[in-house]
Each structure stands twice: as C-alpha cells, then as structure tokens.
Amino acid sequence: MLKFTSYQHKTIVVLNLITNKYDTITDNELLERFYADKNNEWLGILLQRYTILLLGVCMKYLKNEEEAKDGVQQVFLKAINELQKYKVEYFKSWLYMVAKNHCLMKLRDKGKYTTELNEQFIATPYEAEDKNEYIVKDKALDNMAMALQQLNTEQQQCITLFYLQKKSYQEITEQTSYTLLQVKSHIQNGKRNLKLIMERLQQNER
C-alpha cells in the first residue's frame, strides 16, 4: 500500500471532504478558480468527480483492485502537481491520459509493457497537432457520462460494476440482489441502450 507524506495526506483529505454544493460549477470554472487563487480545494472537488472513471481505467490495465485504488490516488497526486505548472483546456481527456500512462508505466516496471513512454507528453499534452484529438475525446467522455446517467438504475449499476470496476458476473450477484440471469440481462440491455443513446447524442451534435 502507498504511504503518503503529510502534504499528500492533507491533499487526499481535501478530496474526501467534497460536498454537493459545487455540483453546478463546471470543470472549467473550477480550474479557473484554482488558477486564480491556487487553492487545492478546487482541484479536490474537480478530481472527485472522476474517481469512478479513474478506477475503471486503472482496473482495465492493472487487473487488481488494490493496485487500481492506489493508482487512482497516484493519478490524483500527479494531476495536482502538474496542474500547478501547466494550464489544461480539456481536463477529462488530459486526466484520462495521465491515468492511462501511469498504468502503462506500472506495467512496464513489472516487465509487462516495454514501449517507452514520454513523461513530457503526460505533463503537457497540448501541442497544436493534438488539440483536435483532445476535443473529440473530451466530447466522447461527456457523451458516455450522459448516456450512462440515462440508463435505468439496474442497468447503470451493473454496467458500472462490470465495465468500470471490472467485477465478474458472480461478484455482481453477490454485491446486489440480482440473480445471475438478471445481471447478464441488465448488462446486455445496458450495452445496447448505451450505444443507442450515444448515437443519438452524436446525431444531435451535427
């Protein structure tokens, strides 16, 4: 398990003291508040919004729940450090890439991933030629979040547990009151509905 310094511990405490009163403030507004006064509380509120996304990314690559949870904390701390130095335009996409690259480096350290990674790219992924890619990725993540919220409670729960938290069918049945057949049905129907909702959202953007 990770051991945090006093500064890091205080940062994590901030993340755990988030309240719902900031729900109406956009990501960009929170970033602007942070850049204006350098108060880490704004970053804590912002990062807390993406805990599930980050856990899903870390589980996808690391395949271990404890390592994934530690990975989320590591990504939080890296994001806080980097945002002290660079301005970010497309926060969700940037945070996703920070998490992905963190996991790939962890796998490389274990000898499971050999491709050389560029730390400078992680810190400053805002070159002009990459901007369109980040705009597209940022919108796709927005659409995914919106689509997930439009699923019914059963489908949303099973989709989140299965794809984001990487739970097995059996683990989901044990964690919920659903039967194995119901879990499979909720996941199958949820996948289909997610695709339909995202296609509709994409059409509305044209």
CATH number for the domain spanning 69: value is 1.10.1740.10
Look at residues 43, 52, 51 and name the one whose alpha carbon lies nearest to residue 25: 43
Q: Under a CB-based contact definition with an 8 Å cutoff, are residues 76 and 89 in contact?
A: no
- Rg of the chain (C-alpha set): 18
CA distances from 66 to 1, 63, 136, 165, 190 (A): 8, 9, 31, 11, 27
| Residue 126: pLDDT band with limits 50, 70, 90 | very low
Region 4-10: mean pLDDT is 44
Rounded Cα gap, residues 92 and 139, in angstroms: 9
Region 67-78: mean pLDDT is 89
Rounded Cα gap, residues 202 and 179, in angstroms: 34
Residue that the structure tokens 């990314």 belong to: 57
Q: Residue 128 carries which DSSP code?
A: G
Q: Is residue 173 part of a domain?
A: no
Q: Is residue 35 part of a domain?
A: yes
Q: pLDDT of 16-39, one tens digit each? A: 444 456 777 888 899 999 999 988
Helix (H) or strand (E) holding 13: helix 6-15
Domain count, the chain: 1
pLDDT of residue 117: 40
The overall average pLDDT reported for the chain is: 75
Q: Is residue 95 part of a domain?
A: yes
Q: Is residue 130 part of a domain?
A: no
Q: Is residue 147 part of a domain?
A: no
pLDDT at 125 over 60: no
Q: Is residue 189 part of a domain?
A: no
Q: Is residue 184 part of a domain?
A: no
| Residue 179: pLDDT band with limits 50, 70, 90 | very high
Rounded Cα gap, residues 26 and 15, in angstroms: 17
Region 52-80: mean pLDDT is 85
Q: Is residue 118 part of a domain?
A: yes
Supply the range of the domain harboring residue 49.
6-125
For the record, the structure tokens of 33 come out as 């508040």
pLDDT at 127 over 50: no
